[in-house]
Amino acid sequence: MKKGILNYSLSEIESLMLELGCPKFRAKQIFLWLYRFGKNSFFEMTNIGKDLQIKLDEIFYIHRPKVANIAKSKDGTIKFLLELNDKNTIETVFIPESKRNTICVSSQVGCAVGCKFCNTGYNGFIRNLSTEEIVSQFLVVKDYLNLWDQKAERLSNIVFMGMGEPLFNHKNVLKAINNLMLDEKEGLSRRKITLSTSGISPIIEKIAKDLPCRLAISLHAPNDQIRSQIMPINGVYNISSIMNACRKYSEYHCYLKITFEYLLLKGINDSKECALELIDLLKNLNAKVNILQFNSWDGCSFEPSSNAKDFSAILQKSGLEAPIRTRRGEDVMAACGQLSAKNKISSI
């Protein structure tokens, strides 16, 4: 039975090359064909020899999930509904900007964290994505936008802010990140990839040294009382444990700021007192706060706050970088907290 080659790391393919009596460098050539040039046939990999092409085709397949639906926002954001082999669906979002193009990647089908402001968690958890299913989101977007030409625009940034909690699937997520970083010419580096987590503190500490990218924490409250109301997982991994884990990450990546995502909810966490408490919480960390505005979805009773500018100003006066993130793709349910993969499937 054939195996999906996109599930394998470079070192794993290097070992296979040696088993097949081929030089180890063939593995890097194969990876470049997959990730730089987007080939989905081994017979198009012209510098690896016919015999190896045949052998690889006997062992592996190269797979892309089906693009089941595409929704285009008036602001240029594109949301992809992808159908997996088992008929489950996930969503991936392409966000074009003047100086960069970002892809927002999912790591699970659904999410078990259950944040009360998030549509993904509202719909429950089904399963983790494989490494292949994670990296293929990147490849599908490049296919659709025809970005394989080396003179074309690039997907310059990746954010693991789509469906799911990445650290509940950290082995596959880290392998996917490392695979995508192998092509130096693509320009993807630890500064261009961000993993966003609700704060699974034991796993952050476990992988802190080897985490090959930026870390973002979905914090959304300055204290446990408020956070537990909107994020039930805080009852397991509270703010104190998250801050300790962030300090561990900073020991190994002191030059990288940790981003703390803060979704303003009217009457919940948007007061001046909350801002001052947040400043005190982050005072000893190399931190940045991304202020998010609530994006509505059916079944959620929260309301957006009108205090974003004042909240940001208080943080910035203290010396914290605190931009208000621009809403993107809200009209096609592609904005933060809106992903659900419940869109109508249609032919493309």
φ, ψ dihedrals at 172, nearest 5° = -70, -35
Answer positive or negative: Cα dihedral of 78, 104, 199, 340.
positive
pLDDT value at residue 301: 85
Contact assessment for residue 265 and residue 229, using Cβ atoms and an 8 Å cutoff: no
- Of 14, 91, 133, 165, the active-site residue reads 91
pLDDT value at residue 344: 47
Q: Is residue 91 annotated as a catalytic residue, yes or no?
A: yes
Dump the DSSP string for 20-88. Answer: TT--TTHHHHHHHHHHTS----GGG-TTS-HHHHHHHHHHEE----EEEEEEE-TTS-EEEEEE-TTS-
- Name the pairing type of β-strands 125-128 and 287-293: unpaired
| Exposure of 298 in the CB half-sphere (CA atoms within 13 A) | 4
CA distance 110 to 88: 10
Q: What is the DSSP letter of 197?
A: E
pLDDT value at residue 300: 85
Q: What is the DSSP letter of 235?
A: G
Q: Is residue 336 annotated as a catalytic residue, yes or no?
A: yes
Give average pLDDT by consecutive 10-residue segment, the chain, 348 residues: 96 96 96 94 96 97 96 95 96 92 95 90 90 97 88 83 96 96 76 96 96 96 98 97 97 95 97 98 96 86 94 98 89 72 49
Two tokens, residue 120: 């993904």
pLDDT value at residue 188: 83
Answer positive or negative: Cα dihedral of 47, 50, 55, 61.
positive
243 membership: H or E segment, kind and range: helix 239-252
